[in-house]
Structures are given as structure tokens and as C-alpha cells.
């Protein structure tokens, strides 16, 4: 499993612009004021405050996050892609199941760009080729590797003549695929809510974890903080998610005004109040256990 490509469009100013349009502010100020001229970190704070929390005192305006487009390409097994495409508020493109069979044989075996040489190496059991074309799970007892070997040997044996007729029916779910996903930031949060659960399949859970880290470190989207505002029950001390929230909020605090930080801390304290486990330690760790110092 690997995240191969990530691009974001509309962050962070699109949510701010959406808020200002709905408030009628764009009648009195030019649109550019809320896009290129609006301070980056103020726009980030607006987006954080847009997230719905389970608190009765406040209802967010999370739909503005739908104006941020998130596009990524990942490599994972067919098991992972089958689960990912169940999230319907997205567009997908993924490697055809025919590519490892038909494409390698319809042209000259040595022609550039065909997968034939790699398929041959995989059929021969070469470790690097096999792990390029299949996802071997940790702790595999050899059965998954053997299923992949049988499939590639069947492909080679068919010479492309019977791939559609019967060889494709032998494809293991461990077969690797590249999948391209285009969605919006609100849907990313929804996917994370479901797929970070301990009972989620390990591969899609790792993909979502990697995506969330990359969204922050490459595009400065505090998506883990947004997530715990939506699902406070996820906020626990001494976890990877908690460390991510601390990293994000430490950076946000450096750039926003004292009054804005107070508002953010108030939201976080309200959200954390619904989760007793480790609450004080968590809040102290992100500097929100009491009124923060400027």
C-alpha cells in the first residue's frame, strides 16, 4: 500500500469564500479580498470552525468544505479498492483487471510499456516483481503469495488467448491496482471517520492514515484536528492521532490571533467534554486545558 500522488485545489480560501458568499459579505468587499488577499492562517481557522461538532451549543457549516477538491492516486490491493469505491461521493479511475493479462500479450513481448516482462518474473517467483504486482499482507503464511504465483503462471500459460474466458476468474484479491480518487474535503473526513476504526481493514486504514499526514505536511490542512472535532471519541492521549492533532495545533497557534486561538480552544474543549478518557491529558497536551497564554 502506498500513496503515490496527492493534489489539493481550493485550500484554504474556498471555504472562507463560501462562508462570506453565504453571509452576503461579497456584496461589500471584492472577491479577491477573501481569496488571494485573505491571510492564509485566518482562512485555515475559518475552516476549522466550520466543522460540525456534537455539541448542543453549536452547529457548524461543514458544507463549505465541499469546495476543497482532494485528488490522490494510491497503490493497494483489490480488497482495498473494493472498500474505497463504496464511498460514492467521489470519482474513480483504477487499473483494469485485464491489464496484467491481455495488454502484455497483444503487442510484441519486447515492446516498451508492456507488463509482459514483469508478469514473467512474477510467474517465476521473483520477489520484487511479485510484490510489485500483488499486495502480500504482513504475516502471510504463504497462501497469498502462492495464489498470486498460480495466477501469473496461468496468465503466462494462456499466452493471452484465454485470459478473458477463464484466466481472469482466477485473479486473487491481492492483485495490486493503482486507483485515482477525486473527491472533496468533507468526504475525506467522512471516509476517515469510518476507516480509522480499529475494526477497519488494515490496508485501507493505513492508506487513510498516510493521506491525513500528507494533507497536513504537504498542504497544511489540519484534517486530524477536524476529525476529532467531528468525532471526539477518537481523541485519546498517547495515540498517533493525538500526536497529529498536537502537531497541527502547535503550528496553527503560531499564526492566528489570540482571540482566534481562544475560539478554537473553546471548540476543542467542548468536543473533548463528551469523552472522559484521557480528557485532561489531551487538553493539556495541546495547550487548551485552560485559557491559553498569548
Active site members: 195
Residue with cell 500526536: 243
Q: Is residue 222 within 8 Å of residue 192, measured between CB atoms?
A: no
What is the DSSP secondary-structure string of 224-244?
HHHHHHH-GGG--TTSHHHHH
d(CA 117, CA 27): 62
CA atoms within 13 A on the CB side of 237: 11
Grid cell 503469495 is found at 145
- Long-range pairs for 151-155 at CB < 8 Å and ≥24 separation? 151/175, 152/100, 152/119, 152/122, 152/123, 153/123, 155/100, 155/101, 155/104, 155/119, 155/123
Number of helices and strands in the chain (H, E): 12, 4
Cα separation, 188 vs 64, whole angstroms = 13
Neighbours of 9 (CB within 10 A): 12
8 A C-beta contact, residue 268 and residue 49: no
CB 204 within 8 A of CB 80: yes
Contact yes or no for 277/238 (Cβ under 8 A): no
Amino acid at each position: 500500500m502506498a500513496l503515490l500522488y496527492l493534489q489539493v485545489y481550493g485550500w484554504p480560501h474556498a471555504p472562507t469564500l463560501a462562508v462570506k458568499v453565504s453571509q452576503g459579505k461579497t456584496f461589500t468587499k471584492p472577491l479577491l479580498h477573501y481569496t488571494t488577499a485573505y491571510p492564509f492562517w485566518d482562512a485555515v481557522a475559518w475552516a476549522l470552525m466550520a466543522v460540525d461538532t456534537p455539541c448542543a451549543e453549536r452547529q457548524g457549516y461543514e458544507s463549505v468544505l465541499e469546495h476543497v477538491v482532494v485528488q490522490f492516486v494510491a497503490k493497494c490491493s483489490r480488497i482495498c479498492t473494493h472498500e474505497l469505491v463504496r464511498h460514492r461521493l467521489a470519482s474513480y479511475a483504477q487499473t483494469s483487471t485485464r491489464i496484467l493479462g491481455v495488454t502484455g500479450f497483444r503487442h510484441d513481448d519486447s515492446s516498451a510499456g508492456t507488463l509482459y516482462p514483469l508478469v514473467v518474473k512474477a510467474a517465476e517467483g521473483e520477489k520484487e516483481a511479485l510484490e510489485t504486482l500483488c499486495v502480500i499482507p504482513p504475516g502471510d503464511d504463504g497462501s497469498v503469495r502462492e495464489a498470486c504465483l498460480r495466477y501469473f503462471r496461468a496468465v503466462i500459460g494462456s499466452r493471452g488467448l484465454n485470459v478473458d474466458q477463464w484466466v481472469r476468474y482466477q485473479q486473487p484479491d491481492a492483485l495490486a491496482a493503482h486507483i485515482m480518487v477525486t473527491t472533496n474535503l468533507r468526504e475525506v473526513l467522512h471516509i476517515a471517520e469510518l476507516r480509522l476504526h480499529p475494526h477497519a481493514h488494515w490496508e485501507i486504514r493505513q492508506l487513510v492514515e498516510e493521506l491525513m499526514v500528507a494533507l497536513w505536511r504537504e498542504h497544511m490542512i489540519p484534517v486530524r484536528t477536524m476529525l476529532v472535532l467531528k468525532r471526539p471519541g477518537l481523541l485519546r492521549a498517547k495515540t498517533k492521532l493525538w500526536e497529529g492533532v498536537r502537531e497541527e495545533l502547535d503550528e496553527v497557534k503560531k499564526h492566528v490571533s489570540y482571540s482566534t486561538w481562544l475560539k478554537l480552544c473553546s471548540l476543542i474543549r467542548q468536543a473533548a467534554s463528551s469523552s472522559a478518557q484521557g480528557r485532561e491529558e489531551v487538553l493539556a497536551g495541546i495547550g487548551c486545558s485552560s485559557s491559553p497564554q498569548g
